[in-house]
Each structure stands twice: as structure tokens, then as C-alpha cells.
Structure 1
């Protein structure tokens, strides 16, 4: 992985080999103005209406009515801690990088000191909960543990042992587990000192821990019996807890069904697998897979916890668990004596298709189990993903993927994969990545939370991803980079997704010509998506990003791109942004963009920020609560007498605006220069029904 020593980078990624090229500093010198970061005290989305003592159920910390029909249809109810009864302290709202509130769902959470509690009222019958939380790291890194007592109606106490060992990364990419470490790359640009430390005499120092992040984790608990709607689930920090504070972000509650049973299958127990997790079961599962391949049976993994510390290679086989709450495949991270040919220095639990160079795998069907990894640091050469390899004509359904590097990383060429109904949480890097020639495949109805990189990505490196669809997925709190990112490709679709709370160096949706991706060709349809509280502050560029942003770094973006029916809610900065990096601003353009039937409810700055040459059309784009001039048109920052290098075409029906009048006014058309490089931010009000 390389970076410019004189410039900053936007989000650099996860993946297989050390990947993705650097970008140069995009600091514009023209029309510079101080940016007032009004991030704390930003709007709070209104929860669902409730009466005193009634549960408040949200989706992405919003009233569910505001996101109806968007995102994944899940079998749990989300309740934000800030809406529950508590003796603790609500933190936030705040969108400032490296704060607990900024990484919380809805940008708020509840911090409990020893002896304090937060209590949720169940909205429906439930026998299982998931708690999203944060506890402090050890002073020298490596993690701490802390108890959290769980009671229902004051009885049946159980104690969760929370851990921070899978949270808390520090420093510059690819990050460190040591909070006291000095700069990993003193030859990189540092925003905090506005300098390259290695080129400065005397060299400046930075405070430690430097850029702490990835603060939250989640843990699941079966309650042992079914409780009714109205019962009270209390999470309490014992008075003797060794940590100063425990922060609870939310609670998900659900009714988990009985274990799935398959009697006509190759049961892994018959091949020596250990459901207690004491002995390694990898060889036993391999034997069951080999038997099933010969006999045309399925593989069945009954309830239990099975220790697996390496890849299970699969081809032409169906593997079913008893359900992701009942069947858990759990691994330890293993240090390799010598690096593997692919550069891995660790091994870990995962189900992998054969490499595409060996023909890949086909007809693989995985369902009904959890994969619990043991990945605590980001090493991009490591193949420690939950699902990997090449899987054509296959399905992945109903899995829970946790604590691996990437939930599902596919290396093509490959085709016809269906990824449905999965939950992916607390990854060090991406949630799902279609890498290199993945075609005719669908990712649908998946719930993804707290990834360390893009939640969902199509990356057309070397070979284009084509005719793929990301539909009806929910992506929440990606810590680094974007909720959904499309890097090149042809005839792809992003539709009906819900993306909330991207945290830094990215936003909700990015369309990027970068990381060596093939050019965009054909069409890209971005249709009927909702984003909320998106548009992070790019620390190195010192500008705010759009909820959707187009980034022409390595090539023109000139395919037929249509953004239709989308809703951009509570945008921290701009709703829509187009940018070419400063060194290439006169080389690459963003053209042939079409925006239609869009709702923009609240912007900290503008509806459109153009920082590249190119063109776009707008039709029936309605906006309200716009904090600055509707179109902030800087073009390529050359400011010719003929107007901006970016032109806007008004196709009619573009209504509403904000503090400066209509967002799309006649005087702004087609290419009036309205460039305020860093406009002041006006925190928008909470979104509401249109």
C-alpha cells in the first residue's frame, strides 16, 4: 500500500493483496474560506411516537415511517439507548471524528458508570438480545473486559462479559492496536499539524492516542425463555466494575425460532466434530464435506460451537446449520510460520471457494450458521475473511458474520451468486466486496453494521463487475469509508437501500473512478435509496463530503448514471458532491449524470457541491432546510470568464430551498460560479414526513 508523501488520502481499503493507490491532497487554493464545523448539537432524528413508558422502536435511529420500503426487512426490533429509561448520561449528538457519540447509531448513546443502568421495554415477544456497546481499551492496548448484568423484570439475572479486544484502532492506515504509538508514517501529511512531520524541523508531535476509532462492538445473548411485550430488559453495570464507564448504543430484541434439524444429511457429528468447541473440528467438517460431495447429500451442522481455525474449502456442496443463533463456527487467529503465497501471515476461520485461477467453485450453498472470527488488527494481505474465494451459481443465506476481516470478499471472475438475509457486524474492513469480474449477482436484504471500511462495494479491478445488484440492504455506522461504494463497472444497480451514519473519510454512497478500477460503462442506476446523517468531514481535504459523492480520480466518470427516487436526509454537509482531486482536476470530468425525483431534507451546506468539470441534469429534485447556497459551483477552480467548468441543466420541478432562497435558482444556471470552498455549516433540523 502506497500513499503520497505530500498529499492526503481519502479512505484506503481492505482486501486481499495490499491494495489501492494513494490520492493527492485536494486542497483548493481558490476562494478559500474558513469552515465552521457545527457538528456537535446537530439534529436528532425524531423517533416513533410513543406514550410514557412505551418502547420506542426505530430503524437507523429514525421513525420507521420515514424509511418505509427501504433497507433490509429484519427479524429484530432496534431500540436506541437514548430513548430508554436510564440513570446514566446521554452522550451526543455529535458528528466530530474520534468521539463515542459520532460512532453511535443516531450519533447518540448512553454512558453508564458503575451502579447505573439503562432499561428497555420489549416491543414484542423476545428470547434473544443483541447489545451494541463500547468500553475503554487498556492503557497499552490489547483490550479490557467488563461485566454487564442483564435482568428481565428484575429477575433471571445473567452477566455478559463485554470486551474491547475487537475494538479500538489507532493512528494512520492500516492502523495500530497500540494507543501510545507514535506516527506510523511520519512522511504522510497530517491534518492536525498541517504539515508532513518528517519534513519539518523541529518535527512536531501528535498527542496519543492518535485518532482513536472503531470504538463499538456488539454481543448476542439468548435469554433462556421467551418474554412478552412490555417486559423490562435492564442492562446494569455492577458497582464493582473495573472500567470507569460502559457506553450502550442500542439493543436489538428478537424471537429466535427452534433449531433447524436435517435428518437426511451428512451430520458433522458423525465425522468427529466437537459441538463443545474444545477440540478443533476443521478436519471433521472436511470429512463431512467430502462425503456429502460423493453421496450428493447436504452437510448438516447441528447446534453447538465448533472450533475451526483455518479455511474450509467448498465446491459443489450445501452446508446448513441449525440457525445462526444455534450453530456457531468459531476460530482463533493463527500465526503462520512463514507467509502464505498470497501474502497472508495469519490463518483463521472461513469458508472459501477455490481460487478463480483454479476454476473457482460452483453450486455452493451456505445457510443457517454464525462465523465468529478472531481478527483484531488490519493486515490487508491476510485472508481471514468469513467467506472468500470464487463462488459461482451459489447462495449465501441467513448467516451471522462477526469479528473477521471482511464478511464476504469474493475474487472473480465469477457469476450468479445470491447473498441474502445475512447479518454482518464488527468487521475490521469491508462488509461485502465484489472484487474483479463478479457478474450477474445479487446482494439483497442484508444487515451490515460497524464495518471498518465500505459496507458494500463493487470493485472492478482488472475486470469489470457487470449486471450486479445491491438491493434492500441496511448499512449502519461504517467507521471508515462508505456505506455503499461502486468503483467502475457496467450496468449495475444500487436500489432500495438504507445507509446511515458513515463516520469518517467517506459517506453513504460513493461512485469512484479510483483504486485501479476499470472505467464506468453502460449504465449505473442508483434508485430509491435513503441516506441519513451522511456526509463526513474529510480530514485531509478539510471539506465536507456529500451524502452521495462522485470522485473522478483516475478516469472520467461518463457512463449513463441515473440517481432516481432517492432521499437524502439530515445531510451533515452537501447532499450531492462531485470532485476531481486537485492534481487531476483539469484531466478528468464527471458528465452525463441525471438526478430525478429526489428528496433532500436538510443540508449543513448545499444541495449540490461541484468541485470538478462536467455536467448534470436535475428534474423534480425537492429540497428544504438547505443551509447554504443551493448550488456551490466551483468547477475545476480555474474560474474562467465563461463561467464554471461544471454545468447544470434544469429539467423542471426543482422546488424548495433554504436560507438563501430557492435551491436551484435561474441565476445559478447553467454554470454560474458560486464557489465558497468551505462554507459555514448550519446544522439542519431533524427529518420529518415530507
Structure 2
């Protein structure tokens, strides 16, 4: 039997060990954003309080792993597709770029052979002193098998009647059944922890992370360190303090009922609710309506709960409950005037059960705000079922989710998601899913989404008059990419307009396992309906694209039914593609104006249309509106001979890895 730990080791391509420069010769700090020079992403993504430093740029006597973009490997799920592997006794040392009193460590350690995770120590010192020991865990990592995944590395196929690429077959129909290596498709390797250092350190001080000798983890992978100067706790005096209603800041007793009492009192007296510093145990939903709840800051006020199995399923299908702040259900009128800020929510979700309502924030909330929260280890950070309107979600950090970070599901209107930081989701980072009722008039602006393990950084499934702008999306891992516009999942059709403006993507475009092709950094997918709204993509930068920068595609079974029409691309920069700038695998039309490209690995336009190859040319037509410059080894990316619909179809072109992005 191959253990999960062994798979983890086998999934770590080894690079050279960095010379341990030691204290005297420590390299200067390299601060990045999404593992890039910050100048390359200026004005894009969330403005955050921390400085990101990649472990591969630090001093270490460990081994650099990667780069690798192959799914189911530790380098692929790392920020920037590189990390550092440590064995017991080894370390990685970061030089602080500015004052800091707190750090966040993103790491991976092996699973237990039978699943369920392990814990292991990691020593933290600053300038060789003040040792503290973090207890790392893989209890919230390591999923296996087919969707919706398993925690058991030794499980048989969850769906033996599904086609799988590993044997190019449907296992249930083969005689004898194929032998599928176990663990099957291990993924979701990383987790992160935060640590207050107890005092403020200066720029130039050295934070060393050491795996102690005798650690029970055969290896520890350090992906990055975020350092931050956290301000003092916030105090709100004119408020209903939860301590006065019996809440326990030590976390030993459940505080859910005390929270309810404080909320009820605050509603009667028109006061805020204040949650002082502490860790509060809450193992169910806290229902919020017409109330303001403030913590002392998300480093100080922590609401933490266990996942609890229900004796009988809830009416919504949940078989578990857990910590979360929920508006009333939309069928009951939803909630209004809810304002949540300044605390952390830490769940206990270790498996994906789609019917479970075990999200950090849920329900319906209109005329409300959610600001400055830190959410981890829930199923979805924030999941909203409308109809609801006028919600503002700002300045939150959402990490280590089993599924999405934020999902506007059904009838969310005139709402904004802005300046949020998302890392390590198990599904779409940010999504608008117009199932049954259209989402309309919403904006996702200036957010950062990194390393979604499954699906997309930002996805829009149907809806009308929505905007995706000024976001930074990096390192999607599999079965998705940075930005998707999709007619799928039963979504209402696209209508009105969709604006995709001034976003930057990097190292995007995953390998689609079933189609066996590479996706675009942005991809339009007509699966269930035509996509024919007023869609404009303006000012985007697509950097270091694994395959294509832009893809327009339909499923083979419906390729003659649906089209993608009149998408307009303008003022786009494409810096590096493994294959083409545009891959068209659908019927329809698009126009291009001032789309500049360089380091293009294959022919600029891979135009297959809907694979009918009629004598009149491809079923997909391109319009050149001028200013489309640059290209690669095959010449201009949009040459006149390609227009409007020359077939230039290479179903699976060779991939040429582009150079790293650089100033334009």
C-alpha cells in the first residue's frame, strides 16, 4: 500500500538546496505580490496590511521544489509554483522588510497513512532568540478521489461509472476493472497559521522557521511567510459586551447562547454588540438581523467552533452545523441592516458535503456590510442565497476553504465585493452564480485571489449588468482558470452587459483533464445556452499563461447548438503564452482592438470553430479593429491572413514555456 505521506514525498520534484547564507550573509528581503514583483501588478488586487515573502527567495538549507504546474503536486499548489521542503533539523529564514509583530505561515505536511491528518511542530525564532513553537496540522488538508472528494487515501473510486483519464475508460464498464493507483488524485495540500510574536521587530530582523529534530512529519513544505504590524485591540464602550451576557473568552464553554442574548439586548436598546479579545466557542449559526457586531480586530477576537452532526437532516439538507453568522432565509424575508466587523471565524470543516450549511457567513443580508473579518476552515467563507440587495463586503481575508470563498448565489443585486484577499479555496474564489434568479448590478473590484485548488479564481455564471474589475488572480490549479464566464450549472442567461476591466492574471490556464487541452487565463464557456450579451473585456493583463490567454469554447456534445457572440477585447496585454493568444473552439464572433502580445508559444489564433471545417472557413470569426501588435516565433499574433475566420486548428499544440513576466 502506498501511503498518503509517500505520495506527498513523491509529488515533490526536488530542486537544488539553497546555500544557507546564515545570519551574516542573509539575502535582502524580496517582497512579492502573487509571487511577482509588485510593480507588475500595481493598481490591481487588494491592498493588504501584510508583506508577502516567498520561501524560495529566503535563506534555507532545505530544498526548493518546483516550478511545476501539474495538478496533484505540492509545487503546483504553491504560490508562484515553488516552495521549500524541509526535513527535521532544516530551516528557512526570512528577513523582515518592515516592522512586524505578527506572521502568517503557509505550509504543508503529510497526511496520516489512513487519512485524517497529523500534527507536527515548527519552531519560530527571531534573530536566533525568543523561540516559539507552532503546531502545524494537516487535518484540514489532503482530499482525494473524484468530486466531492474523500478524506480516505485508500478509498475506491467514488464514481466508478464516471469517465476518468487515468485509464481513458469508464471503470465500471471494463472487464476486468482497471487497477487505479491509490491514493487517487491527492490534492488540497496546504494550510496556514497566524502567530502574534509578542513584540514589534524591526526591518532587517530575521524570522527563522525550523523543523525540530525528531518531528513526526517526514517533511514540511514552507510556501511563504506574510509579516504584518498589527495594531492594538479595538475597544467599543457604548455597546452590549458579550461578556456581560455570559460569553467565555477562554473558549472552554460554548458562548452561542450568550451571543444571542447580547444581540437581543442590543436590538432592544439600539446598541452595537462588542466582542472583546478572546477565543469564543460557537458550534452553531448565530442569526443576525438589524444588528452591528464588532470585534477587537480579527487577530484578537476569534469565534471558533466544532462541526456538529445533526440527529436528523435540516430542512435545507444539512447533516451538520457549525460556527457561522447567518442572515434570515430569503423565504422569511431575509435580514437587513447587519454590520459585521473586526473578528475571525474559524470552522472545523474537513470534508465537502454540498448540502451542508457550514459557511462562515450565510443566508440573505440586504443593506448590510461585512468588513475586516478573517475566515478559515469553513466550507464557504460567505454564501448568499437571495433575493437580497445592497451588501458591501470589504477588507476581509478568507483562506483554507473546502469550497468557495464568496458566492453570490441567486438573486443578489447591487452589491460590492472589494479589497478582499482570498487564498487556497477548494472551488471558485469569487463567484456570481445566477441559478434560478439572476444576479444583477454587482461588482467584484480590487480583490486578490490566489491558488484556488479547483475551478476558477473569479467566475460569473449568468446574470446581467455585472462588473469584474481591478482584480489580481494567480495560480489556479485544475479544472478552471483565473476568470470564467460560463453558461452552465443551470444559470440564467447572460443579459444586459458584463464588464471585465483592468484585471491581472498570472500563471493561469490549467490543463482540463477530461478534454485533455489547456484552458485560457480567461475563458468563455457556452455549455447550456448562447453567450450573447454585451460583454467587453478591457484593460486586462494576462501574464505567464500556461496555455492560452483567451479561450472561447463549447462542450463537444453541444457545439452545434450554442455560440459565443460579439465579445469585445480592447487594450489587453498578453505577456507570454504556452500556446496561443486566442483559442476558439466554438461558433461565434469576437473583436480585438489594441491587444498587444509577446512571447507567444504557438500560432497567435488557434481557430477550430465548432470543428465543422466548412469550405467557407471556421464557424468562429475575428474582427481586427486595429492596434493589435506583437506575437511570437510564428509571426504577428493576429495576422491579416487569419481574418476573419481562417481555420488554424491545432487541437493540442505543443506547449512552449514563456519567460517570466517583466515590465512592458
Distance 2:313 2:46 in 1: 39
Match for residue 630 of structure 1 among 584, 601, 604: 604
8 A contact 2:14–2:64 mirrored in 1:
no
1:156 corresponding residue in structure 2:
130
1:146 corresponding residue in structure 2:
120
Match for residue 91 of structure 2 among 117, 142, 146: 117
Match for residue 679 of structure 1 among 653, 659, 663: 653
1:36 corresponding residue in structure 2:
none
8 A contact 1:443–1:471 mirrored in 2:
yes
8 A contact 1:41–1:94 mirrored in 2:
no
Q: Cα distance, 1:537 vs. partner?
A: 0.2
Match for residue 473 of structure 2 among 491, 495, 499: 499
Structure with more contact order per residue of length (Cα contacts < 8 Å, sep ≥ 6): 1
8 A contact 2:14–2:63 mirrored in 1:
no
8 A contact 1:40–1:96 mirrored in 2:
no
8 A contact 1:40–1:95 mirrored in 2:
no
Distance 2:198 2:446 in 1: 32
Match for residue 556 of structure 2 among 579, 582, 589: 582
* TM-score under structure 1 length normalisation: 0.93
Superposition pairs of residues 405-424 of structure 1, within 5 angstroms: 405-424=379-398
Distance 1:205 1:284 in 2: 54
Distance 1:683 1:293 in 2: 59
1:524 corresponding residue in structure 2:
498
Distance 1:392 1:234 in 2: 46
Q: Are 1:126 and 2:108 an aligned pair?
A: no
Q: Are 1:94 and 2:103 an aligned pair?
A: no
Q: Cα distance, 1:422 vs. partner?
A: 0.1
Distance 1:380 1:465 in 2: 21
Helix, strand or coil: the match of 1:409? strand
Match for residue 441 of structure 1 among 400, 415, 419: 415
Match for residue 137 of structure 1 among 111, 130, 137: 111
Match for residue 53 of structure 2 among 62, 70, 79: 79
Match for residue 355 of structure 1 among 329, 337, 356: 329
8 A contact 1:450–1:478 mirrored in 2:
yes
Match for residue 386 of structure 1 among 360, 372, 381: 360
Q: Are 1:465 and 2:401 an aligned pair?
A: no
> 1:9-43: per-residue Cα shift (whole Å, max 9, x none)?
xxxxxxxxxxxxxxxxxxxxxxxxxxxxxx9999x
Q: Cα distance, 1:52 vs. partner?
A: 6.6
Indicate how the Cα distance of structure 1 residues 41 and 546 shifts in structure 2: closer, same or farther if over 3 A, else same.
Answer: farther
2:615 corresponding residue in structure 1:
641
Q: Cα distance, 1:243 vs. partner?
A: 1.1
8 A contact 1:624–1:656 mirrored in 2:
yes
8 A contact 2:574–2:597 mirrored in 1:
yes
Superposition pairs of residues 198-277 of structure 1, within 5 angstroms: 198-277=172-251
Helix, strand or coil: the match of 2:124? strand
Match for residue 595 of structure 2 among 601, 614, 621: 621
Distance 1:422 1:583 in 2: 41
Q: Are 1:68 and 2:76 an aligned pair?
A: no
Q: Cα distance, 1:372 vs. partner?
A: 0.3
Distance 2:13 2:318 in 1: 41
2:301 corresponding residue in structure 1:
327
8 A contact 2:587–2:609 mirrored in 1:
yes
> 1:108-130: per-residue Cα shift (whole Å, max 9, x none)?
00000000000000000000000
Distance 1:201 1:668 in 2: 47
Superposition pairs of residues 532-551 of structure 1, within 5 angstroms: 532-551=506-525
Distance 1:401 1:592 in 2: 39
Superposition pairs of residues 603-618 of structure 1, within 5 angstroms: 603-618=577-592
1:47 corresponding residue in structure 2:
none
Distance 1:117 1:80 in 2: 14
> 1:319-361: per-residue Cα shift (whole Å, max 9, x none)?
0000000000000010111111111011100000000000000
8 A contact 1:598–1:622 mirrored in 2:
yes
Distance 2:484 2:321 in 1: 32
Distance 1:659 1:587 in 2: 35
Q: Are 1:56 and 2:30 an aligned pair?
A: yes
2:424 corresponding residue in structure 1:
450
Distance 2:377 2:318 in 1: 17
Superposition pairs of residues 296-375 of structure 1, within 5 angstroms: 296-375=270-349
Q: Cα distance, 1:592 vs. partner?
A: 1.2
1:511 corresponding residue in structure 2:
485
The unaligned stretches of length 5 or more in structure 1 are 1-38, 43-50
Distance 2:159 2:174 in 1: 14
Indicate how the Cα distance of structure 1 residues 87 and 302 shifts in structure 2: closer, same or farther if over 3 A, else same.
Answer: same
Helix, strand or coil: the match of 2:254? coil
Helix, strand or coil: the match of 1:667? helix
Distance 2:99 2:646 in 1: 58
Distance 1:122 1:243 in 2: 27
Distance 1:109 1:228 in 2: 25
Distance 2:368 2:48 in 1: 22
Distance 1:489 1:430 in 2: 19
* TM-score under structure 2 length normalisation: 0.96
8 A contact 2:592–2:628 mirrored in 1:
yes
8 A contact 2:26–2:59 mirrored in 1:
no
Q: Cα distance, 1:53 vs. partner?
A: 2.2
8 A contact 1:41–1:93 mirrored in 2:
no
8 A contact 2:233–2:296 mirrored in 1:
yes
2:546 corresponding residue in structure 1:
572
Distance 1:190 1:436 in 2: 32
Match for residue 153 of structure 2 among 156, 161, 179: 179
Helix, strand or coil: the match of 1:523? strand
1:19 corresponding residue in structure 2:
none
> 1:225-257: per-residue Cα shift (whole Å, max 9, x none)?
110000000000001101110000000000000
2:639 corresponding residue in structure 1:
665
Helix, strand or coil: the match of 1:124? coil
> 1:542-569: per-residue Cα shift (whole Å, max 9, x none)?
0000000000000000001000000000
Indicate how the Cα distance of structure 1 residues 191 and 595 shifts in structure 2: closer, same or farther if over 3 A, else same.
Answer: same
Helix, strand or coil: the match of 1:103? coil
Match for residue 485 of structure 1 among 459, 469, 480: 459
Q: Are 1:430 and 2:419 an aligned pair?
A: no
2:5 corresponding residue in structure 1:
none
Distance 1:225 1:601 in 2: 42
8 A contact 1:142–1:177 mirrored in 2:
yes
Q: How many residues align?
A: 644
> 1:32-65: per-residue Cα shift (whole Å, max 9, x none)?
xxxxxxx9999xxxxxxxx972100000000000
Q: Cα distance, 1:659 vs. partner?
A: 1.3
